[in-house]
Amino acid sequence: MSISHTLISSPDWTSATPTLAHFPDSNHQDESHTNALHCLKVTTKYVISGSADRSIRIWDKKARTLALPPLVGHSGTVVALDVSKLLALLFSGDSNGEVIIWDFETGDMVQRFEKAHSDTVLDLAFKGGYLVTAGRDKSIKVWRFRESGEFELKHLLLGHEMPVLHVQIWGDGTRAVSTSGDRTLRVWDLGSGECVRRIDGVAKAIVGFRFFETGGGTCLVAACTDHRIRIYNFEDGRKVASLEGHENVVRAVKMVESGNGQGRSRWIISASYDGTVRVWEEDGLGRWTNIRTHSFSEAVLTQIPDFSYVPAEDGFLQVKQKPSRISDMEVDEGCMYCCGEGKEIVCWDFRGDNKETESKSG
């Protein structure tokens, strides 16, 4: 997803007591997805979800019910989403390599690329007239919005030696940053299609990251498959911190900063396959502490169970239900939205009676 530093209403992530909500709420369970959810996107008025049931659902934030009938047309699991509020378009990618562009206001299909990639579209991002898609086929494709109102393929970007896991359009919208299982981070010029920078030796599989600014320059916080969260200096590629605590793949990270007149506070919010969302607080010296943990497994209304078999003391196998994995997370206006192995989106609302303060969400 594109990098954002948006002014939001900031709660006290350290001590505020959140309220729990679901999309859909308990009175509208007939609107739920029918299989696991894989991706989320949040706008000012809506929460959007993509699922293994091959549908996309657009939820009204206030009512927590469907704003439109489900969007259907994908032939595989919907695994990636992005939105252009300016063009009123919704972009989606699926496990069969298909990309679909939708009218966000009506839900109508506008354009379809049945074989945008030869394998799963693992991520996509839109900004400044460019749609960038990343595939399990190791390629990145750049699609350009034309005056005709349609998108055309502009560049095929090759160089990664393993699946491209995550892509963001950076800065003024002329460059993209990608990560891959090949342990490289690459910066691409969207106008020329050239790789203009390569950082080697990052974590083996960074599945998501967010940029943020420090006194020492631009950094990025990365979600990694080895259960860790890492912070890198983007200027020189140096690792500056490693956060441990999750017990499975970290699927998503967000950086939240707030200024309350008494200095600036900074938190990292992370979501994992271990079924938890964790809030990490910085002490001002670059050290991070896990200050609170929330269980998606306990909060979701309708779990999609996954079982394992473990040896019991009597020698027989014991059936044990695994935690409900989180596939994606968004943070917006003091709320944490999570989806995964459940049929609803879980929302922790930290706003309470907090007043608006200047803050940034990365």
Phi-psi category of 285—alpha, beta or left, where left has phi over 0 and alpha has psi -120 to 50?
alpha
Calculate what percentage of the chain has a pLDDT beyond 90. 76
CATH number at residue 328: 2.130.10.10
pLDDT of the residue at 8:
41
For residue 340, being part of any structural domain is answered with: yes
The residue type found at 223 is: A
Q: What's the pLDDT band for 16 if we cut at 50, 70, 90?
A: confident
Calculate what percentage of the chain has a pLDDT beyond 70. 88
What backbone torsions phi and psi does residue 171 show, to the nearest 5 degrees?
60, -120
Residues 6 or more apart in contact with residue 81 via CB below 8 angstroms: 39, 40, 41, 48, 50, 56, 90, 91, 92, 93, 124
For residue 190, being part of any structural domain is answered with: yes
DSSP symbol at 4 = -
CB 224 within 8 A of CB 205: yes
Of 131-135, 260-264, 316-320, the one with minimum mean pLDDT is 316-320
| Alpha-carbon span 127 to 3, nearest angstrom | 9
For residue 8, being part of any structural domain is answered with: no
pLDDT of the residue at 338:
98
**pLDDT, tens digit, 9 for 90 and up, residues 44-95:** 999 999 999 999 999 999 999 999 999 999 999 999 999 999 999 999 999 9
Please count the residues of the chain: 362
The closest alpha carbon to 243, from 269, 212, 273, 275, belongs to 269
Give the CA count within 13 Å in the CB-facing half-sphere of 57.
Answer: 26
For residue 4, being part of any structural domain is answered with: no
The closest alpha carbon to 329, from 355, 360, 291, 362, belongs to 362
pLDDT of the residue at 12:
80
For residue 98, being part of any structural domain is answered with: yes
For residue 199, being part of any structural domain is answered with: yes
Domain that holds residue 97: 19-361
For residue 3, being part of any structural domain is answered with: no
The count of domains in the chain is 1
For residue 327, being part of any structural domain is answered with: yes
| Alpha-carbon span 149 to 262, nearest angstrom | 48
**pLDDT, tens digit, 9 for 90 and up, residues 276-322:** 999 999 887 789 999 999 999 999 998 886 654 445 556 554 544 56
